């Protein structure tokens, strides 16, 4: 695919782990034309470009954001940089796909959403989970009535990440902590199936610097429906999900949002019906393809992952972080 007036020319911003992990899937999607890459360090960007056959390297992130030759950017930098980079990109007229979490707080995402709307530009958080066949399949099972009315959602994700000097996960200034890095997945899954919660309760551990190590949130909804959302930087919890309904249960094996076995236990006999859904590429292909299609259709948000959902999930994270900070022993 070549760049042109009708084909948005994309630049990748950042050359770290997620950029490496997704570049193959971007190619597989077939409708996202990566013409350039930028990083804070030109040498890193040159190396990335050479290894992945990307024609152009910008000397700096600022050069890429200011370039008239770029129509859209995929932001792959640490959380704490997302707001300012996305804001700059929108101000210079670029569509934005930004890695999760879109920003550190709900109010920052609101500001970006307003800016994108005012400029008529596409903006989406790269919440690939919402686009995977596994999650679509669960929604289809629910729509078909397989488990009756959904009453509860339980999902978790944790790793025992090494605490190193350089890890962004343990660095408060880079937006470290379990909730912003991992918790957004189970929280977005609960948001997808139950909507925006009316209440948030949190048990967990937060360091004095604001890095939350682990927590379980209980989210309350109308009509006594509930979700639990667990995330951890200090223990391994394979990412599973359980959806409880009035007539059955769906259990999604790890990694629930990427794909794998889905077990559906329906009334009256609750015998497991197991389906395994395919994973395309590393799992990100459906999201990239959907973004390419949305841009081609002139959309400014993707209906499957609208900004309202990103903002609602970050509002849950805001409140959970506030509760964990308030509960932290001061002695
Ligand atoms: N969707 C997923 O499955 C998934 C998985 C992992 C991570 N992520 C998300 O992707 C983002 C990046 O995570 P990562 O694991 O790829 O991080 P990483 O490996 O540390 O890479 C970060 C990249 O950003 C650049 N960078 C660092 N600070 C920057 C700044 N202030 N401004 C501009 N560029 C900066 C770094 O390169 P230079 O130093 O050369 O500039 C590096 O290329 C995070 O928000 C994370 O949540 C998503």
Q: Which domains does the chain have, with CATH numbers?
A: 9-129 (3.40.50.720), 130-284+314-327 (3.30.360.10)
Nearest residue to 83 via CA among 36, 137, 123, 43: 123
Q: Using an 8 Å Cβ cutoff, are 150 and 170 in contact? A: no
pLDDT of residue 165: 85
Q: What is the chain's mean pLDDT, rounded?
A: 96
Low-confidence ranges of the chain (pLDDT < 70): 1-6, 330-331
Secondary structure of residue 34 in the 3-state scheme = strand
Q: Using an 8 Å Cβ cutoff, are 97 and 74 in contact? A: yes
pLDDT of residue 331: 57
HEC string for 47-74: HHHHHHCCCEECCCHHHHHHCCCCCEEE
pLDDT of residue 189: 98
pLDDT of residue 30: 96
The two most distant CA atoms of the chain are separated, in Å, by 63
Known catalytic residue at 100: yes
pLDDT of residue 328: 86
Atom of ligand 1 nearest to the CA of 168: 20
- Mutating to test ligand 1, I would choose from 11, 13, 16, 20 the residue with most ligand atoms within 8 A of its C-beta, which is 16
Q: Using an 8 Å Cβ cutoff, are 37 and 15 in contact? A: yes
CB distance 328 to ligand 1 below 6 Å: no
pLDDT of residue 90: 98
pLDDT of residue 283: 97
């Amino acid at each position: 695919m070549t760049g042109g007036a009708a084909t948005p020319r994309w630049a990748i911003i950042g050359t770290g782990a997620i950029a490496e992990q997704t570049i193959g899937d971007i190619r597989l999607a077939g409708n996202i034309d990566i013409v350039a890459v930028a990083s804070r360090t030109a040498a890193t960007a040159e190396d990335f470009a050479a290894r992945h056959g990307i024609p152009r390297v910008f000397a700096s992130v600022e050069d890429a954001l200011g370039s008239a030759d770029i129509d859209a950017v995929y932001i792959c930098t640490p959380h704490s940089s997302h707001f300012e980079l996305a804001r700059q990109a929108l101000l210079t007229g670029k569509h934005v796909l930004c890695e999760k979490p879109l920003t550190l707080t709900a109010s920052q995402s609101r500001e970006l959403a307003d800016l994108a709307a005012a400029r008529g530009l596409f903006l989406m958080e790269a919440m690939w989970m919402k686009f995977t066949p596994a999650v679509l399949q669960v929604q289809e099972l629910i729509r078909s009535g397989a488990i009756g009315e959904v009453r509860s959602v339980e999902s978790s994700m944790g790793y025992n990440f090494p605490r190193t000097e350089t890890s962004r996960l343990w660095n408060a200034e880079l937006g470290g902590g379990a909730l912003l890095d991992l918790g957004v997945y189970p929280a977005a899954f609960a948001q997808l199936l139950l909507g925006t919660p009316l209440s948030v309760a949190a048990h967990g551990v937060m360091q004095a610097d604001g890095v939350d190590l682990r927590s379980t949130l209980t989210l309350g909804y109308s009509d006594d429906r509930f979700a639990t959302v667990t995330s951890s930087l200090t223990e391994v919890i394979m990412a599973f999900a359980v959806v409880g309904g009035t007539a059955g249960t769906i259990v999604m094996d790890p990694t629930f949002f990427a794909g794998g076995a889905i077990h559906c236990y329906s009334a009256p006999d609750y015998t497991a019906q197991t389906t395994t859904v395919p994973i395309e590429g590393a799992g990100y292909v459906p999201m990239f393809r959907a973004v390419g299609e949305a841009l081609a259709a002139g959309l400014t948000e993707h209906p499957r992952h609208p900004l309202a959902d990103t903002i609602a999930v970050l509002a849950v994270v805001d409140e959970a972080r506030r509760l964990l900070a308030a509960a932290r022993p001061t002695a």
